[in-house]
Amino acid sequence: MKSLYARRSIRQYTQEEIADTVLRDLLEAAMAAPSAVAKDPWHFIVLRTRSSIDQLATALPNGKMLAEAPAALVVCGDINRAHDRELSFLLQDVSAAIENILLAASMLGLGACWLGIHPREERIAAVRHQFNLPDGIIPIAGIALGWPAEEKAARTRFNSDLVHFEQW
């Protein structure tokens, strides 16, 4: 359980590059996520250049940490590959992949921060335009990535008031 509790949103990074093999590990972890009827509707845009990462930052008002991040991901879903072409299934599948990335990053010693794009229409439109997304591809989230320049204590936010047995 320590690995789960150690995963925290990291917003300060060193400028050390992330090796291609480490990025590949994150993407493999993402694609190990479950998806409805094994449709795997996810796509990933890997951003490594300062100009591409800065483009993402301009679309995300809460993405100030991207200015320091040496890499980022844009996680998208393909509505045409989602189970029954349902947005709800797409969001669940892609969110599982995102969580796998965040956990894998933490386990590898990387810092990461999930930045929401969907459902904010202005963010979706900006990311679609900036990264030339084809029809049917929906940007769901950005992920800032880097070697941490801050430490955060492991923790859980368990609250027994939110747990119900057998019925509400």
The tens digit of pLDDT for each residue in 27-63 reads 999 999 999 999 999 999 999 999 999 999 999 999 9
Per DSSP, the residues of 139-150 read: EEEEEEEE-BSS
pLDDT in tens, 103-127: 999 999 999 999 999 999 999 999 9
Give residue 74's pLDDT.
Answer: 99
User: So what's the pLDDT on residue 75?
Assistant: 99
Residues 142 and 56: beta-carbon distance below 8 Å: yes
Q: Assign a CATH topology to domain 16-150.
A: NADH Oxidase (3.40.109)
Which tokens belong to 136? 């049917």
pLDDT in tens, 85-107: 999 999 999 999 999 999 999 99
- Element (H or E) spanning 97, and its range? helix 87-107
Domain boundaries, the chain: 16-150
CA distance 159 to 142: 28
